[in-house]
A and B are shown apart, each in its own frame.
Chain A
């Protein structure tokens, strides 16, 4: 039997807390239902997006597994860019290490720039993508693939020797282009990638062993 609507309404008016409880329950129900409906799809989307990022930075390197839920953390002090721990992921093909993916932080104009860098076992870059940044719209954000092809220029590059003079902007005497209106952002990105490559060069044998330097 349903309670008479008017008495329920009167009850709500007399005890406002009843009203709050009813609507809190309703709100929770709305969120729960939509969460249940969308949960699996959101998870699938996120995994697909993550896998697409790895595939992009790993370029032509075939891999059958990557430990993207359990990255190895390289704790500071390390000689990688930034002062925080750097996650390192290993892509494997037929049980053998095929490439590494490092999530590094470059110093941009407005703040940190998160980069995802793929390096094969010969320390050659397979690809770089920007994950997050706060650079100026239309200037510094040309590091993003959706705004410019600039970031693609790193694929296939290596760092040769102790000091490789090519790893600087053309304006600084190196070989890398900056884009119009922004110098600090591309300089930060080039420096961070160069530093990471030097680190990989130095620690190649340890990394190939499956250990963390």
Chain B
């Protein structure tokens, strides 16, 4: 648990290492979008972890980055196809940010570590920790922006869970547009960064 906690807090991929900010800033405009991207990230990371764990001995060091990238590209592509088939509306919302997961350094860093490390269990736990941290941050930013930007929470939940409709809660009809625009993402992440640093220094 301590390794996971460390990944979650002391080496938070978003808030400390500032890795993989692109989807965080671009796609997290609502809770549902953030959840969708988190699920995609989790699936891709899980798939790549399993493959790298099984085949680690076959990965030759000089071509390690190429192989890791290739595996991630394959996972992202199949993830995109699955989303298109089963959650087409959510896929349309995520736009370019789902294919852009290919260049998310979070994956490359994790897979590189996994392929070279001898302490497998520890690395797997760390990976789990960083994807949790990433998802929590994504969902936090998404929810904050949706709440401020549209005055509602959990809109369009049916895009993620077909059949669930009207689950969203509208608190106000007026939102602050800025929160939905790109600067809003920077403000949201700044608020979370500040909160984290404040808790850290207390």
Instruction: Give residues in A with beta carbon < 8 Å to B.
Output: 5-6, 8-9, 12-13, 15-20, 22-24, 26-28, 30-31, 33-35, 37-38, 41-42, 45, 49, 136-139
Q: How far is the CA of A8 from the CA of B55 in the complex (A)?
A: 11
Q: How far is the CA of A175 from the CA of B134 in the complex (A)?
A: 50
Q: A12-B60, A138-B181 are in contact. Are A27 and B86 (CB under 8 A)?
A: no
Residues 23-67 of B contacting A (Cβ, < 8 Å): 51, 55, 57-63, 66-67
Q: How far is the CA of A20 from the CA of B67 in the complex (A)?
A: 6
Stretch at the interface among B12-20, B70-78, B189-197: B70-78
Distance in angstroms from A157 CB to nearest chain B CB is 28
CB closest residue in chain B, given A17: B63
Q: Please, could you name 23 A-B residue pairs with CB atoms under 8 Å apart, sorted by A?
A: A6-B57, A16-B63, A19-B60, A20-B66, A20-B67, A22-B58, A23-B55, A23-B58, A23-B59, A27-B70, A27-B71, A27-B73, A28-B74, A30-B75, A31-B77, A33-B78, A34-B81, A35-B81, A45-B85, A137-B177, A137-B180, A138-B149, A138-B181
Q: Check if B177 sits within 8 Å of A138, measured CB to CB.
A: yes
- B84 interfacial by beta-carbon distance below 8 Å: yes
Q: Choose one: B57, B67, B85; the contact of A23 (CB below 8 Å).
A: B67
Task: Please report whether the interface of chain B is mostly helix, strand, loop or mixed according to DSSP.
Answer: helix
Q: How far is the CA of A20 from the CA of B70 in the complex (A)?
A: 9
- B99 interfacial by beta-carbon distance below 8 Å: no
17 further A-B pairs in the complex, CB-CB below 8 A; given A20-B67, A26-B55: A8-B58, A13-B60, A15-B60, A16-B60, A16-B63, A19-B58, A19-B59, A19-B67, A20-B66, A23-B71, A30-B75, A30-B77, A31-B77, A31-B78, A31-B81, A33-B78, A41-B86
Q: How far is the CA of A192 from the CA of B66 in the complex (A)?
A: 49
Q: A12-B57, A33-B78 are in contact. Are A42 and B71 (CB under 8 A)?
A: no
Chain A residues lying within 8 Å of B82, measured Cβ to Cβ, are 34, 37-38
Q: Check if B60 sits within 8 Å of A31, measured CB to CB.
A: no
Q: How far is the CA of A180 from the CA of B138 in the complex (A)?
A: 31
Q: Check if B60 sits within 8 Å of A34, measured CB to CB.
A: no
Chain A residues lying within 8 Å of B78, measured Cβ to Cβ, are 30-31, 33-35
Distance in angstroms from B84 CB to nearest chain A CB is 5
Distance in angstroms from A82 CB to nearest chain B CB is 24
- B88 interfacial by beta-carbon distance below 8 Å: yes
Q: How far is the CA of A8 from the CA of B60 in the complex (A)?
A: 11
Chain A residues lying within 8 Å of B58, measured Cβ to Cβ, are 8-9, 12, 19, 22-23
Closest 8 CB pairs of A and B: A34-B78, A27-B74, A38-B85, A16-B60, A9-B57, A138-B177, A41-B85, A19-B60
CB closest residue in chain B, given A14: B60
Q: Check if B88 sits within 8 Å of A45, measured CB to CB.
A: yes
Chain B residues lying within 8 Å of A16, measured Cβ to Cβ, are 60-63
